[in-house]
Amino acid sequence: MNIHEKYIKRCNELAKNGLGSTYPNPLVGSVIVHKDKIIGEGWHQKAGAPHAEVNAVNSVKDKSLLKKSTIYVSLEPCSHFGKTPPCSDLIIAKGIKKVVIGCVDPFAEVAGRGIKKLMEAGCEVQVGLLEKECQKLNKRFFTFHQKKRPYIILKWAQTADGFIAPEIQEKREPVWITNQYSKQLVHKWRSEEQAILVGTHTAIADNPQLNTRLWEGKNPVRVVIDKGLKIPKESALLDGSIKTIVLTEKEPQKAPENENLVFEKLDFQQNLPEQICEVLYRNNLQSVIIEGGAKTLQSFIDAKLWDEARVFTGIAEFHKGIKAPEFSGKMVSQTSLERDNLKIYRND
């Protein structure tokens, strides 16, 4: 690893601190180096708040060193006025002449323009340091802007004998296959993504809340498939406490009283996963966790519309019931949470 990669790696470490709070903006980290010593660093903490480069510059105690320093950024500095001024203008104004960038920003308002502006101002710019790592860091942002759909995470828990749910549920509540540590981790994941989706059967059988009650963080937008509007009105998903998008083929009998409840009409005779992706993209949702049930998960697998699968296997056995989805992917990690096993797969 060369010296530039060392500092871009630090940028990525800083950027990860913003996961879940920067949407619709990307994760970005920045460090400022003078004579091989970090004199300033920062990351983008929240949409509408100062960007990573601004926080890095502001953290430098002796501003006279900026003109003799190199600024490292995991993603191309912006060149347009959004909720904050362009970071490329700030770098130029502070007289920082050396700029090292992890990867180019795919957002149409930037897409190389920040780099061009810096070079035209006389800055020495290097691009593409740890490029794949920087792109992976912003896999949600890149998928959204390049593929025009959210980054799709499949998630389910299955028994040791391969079932996702029992054949019959006596109560209208979840049947837990995994332990409390796995459950808390799932709530942490929810705080990191923008949306979470379940099908009709799961909504009726489990009456899920789909919130982050076991982890401090922002609740994702809830999305539920309800073709015939069969989900009981007293269900947790329809309580209006969190923005919820209901995907249906029926028009509601009356307009919802709560503004957090949104109905989107789909053609259930056509490719449903593709239509769902279009709705989520239109609602500026960069990522979604598909939590079930088996039919919903399998429909995304069969449509080849998934990026990552997170599969828990518990120690319980049902012997009969609803089988877990069938899929193939590259396993990228395996973790134990007490007696639960978590495998994460990537769709190559």
CATH number of domain containing 172: 3.40.430.10
Shared domain for 83 and 127, answered yes or no, is yes
- Gap between the Cα atoms of 278 and 178, Å rounded: 33
Mean predicted lDDT score pLDDT of the chain: 93
Q: Does 147 score more than 70 pLDDT?
A: yes
Provide the domain count of the chain: 2
Domain stop point among 100, 120, 142: 142
Answer with the one of 87, 112, 142 that is the final residue of a domain.
Answer: 142
Q: Which of 5, 13, 41, 53 is flagged as catalytic?
A: 53
The DSSP code sequence of 114-146 is HHHHHHHTT-EEEE-TTHHHHHHHTHHHHHHHH
Q: What is the pLDDT of residue 80?
A: 65
pLDDT (average), residues 68-73: 97
Q: Is 205 annotated as a binding residue?
A: no
256: confidence class by pLDDT, cuts 50, 70, 90: confident
Look at residue 292 in the predicted model and tell me its pLDDT. Answer: 81
Q: In this predicted structure, which of 99-108, 160-169, 249-258, 299-308 has the lowest mean pLDDT?
A: 249-258
Whether residues 43 and 138 fall in one domain: yes
Reported as a pLDDT band with limits 50, 70 and 90, residue 1 is low
Range of the domain at 321: 149-346
For residue 228, say whether it is annotated as part of any ligand binding site: no
- Cβ neighbours around 205 below 10 Å, total: 21
Neighbours of 282 (CB within 10 A): 10
- Flag whether 13 is marked binding: no
Digit-coded pLDDT (tens) for 3-50:
999 999 999 999 999 999 999 999 999 999 999 999 999 999 998 899
53 is catalytic: yes
Tell me, yes or no, whether 180 and 210 share the same domain: yes
| 291 annotated to a ligand binding site | yes
The pTM score is 0.92
Instruction: Say whether both 101 and 199 belong to one domain.
Output: no
Q: Tell me what pLDDT residue 258 has.
A: 85
Range of weakest confidence among 105-109, 158-162, 231-235, 273-277:
105-109
pLDDT at residue 111, as a whole number = 72
194 and 271 fall within a common domain: yes
The C-alpha R_g of the chain, in whole angstroms, comes to 23
Residues 318 and 178 occupy one common structural domain: yes
At 200 the pLDDT is 95
CA nearest 261: which of 298, 233, 299?
233
293 prior amide bond cis, ω within 30: yes
Q: Is 338 left (phi over 0), alpha (psi -120 to 50) or beta?
A: left
pLDDT band, very low/low/confident/very high, at 253 (cuts 50, 70, 90): low
Is residue 215 annotated as involved in ligand binding? Answer: no
Which of 115, 142, 169 marks a domain boundary?
Answer: 142
294 in a labelled binding site: yes
Q: Are residues 91 and 55 in contact, defined by beta-carbon separation less than 8 angstroms?
A: no
Does 37 show up as a binding residue in the annotation? no
Q: Examine the domain organization and report whether 307 and 183 are in the same domain.
A: yes
**For the chain, first and last CA: distance in Å?**
27
CATH of the domain at 100: 3.40.140.10
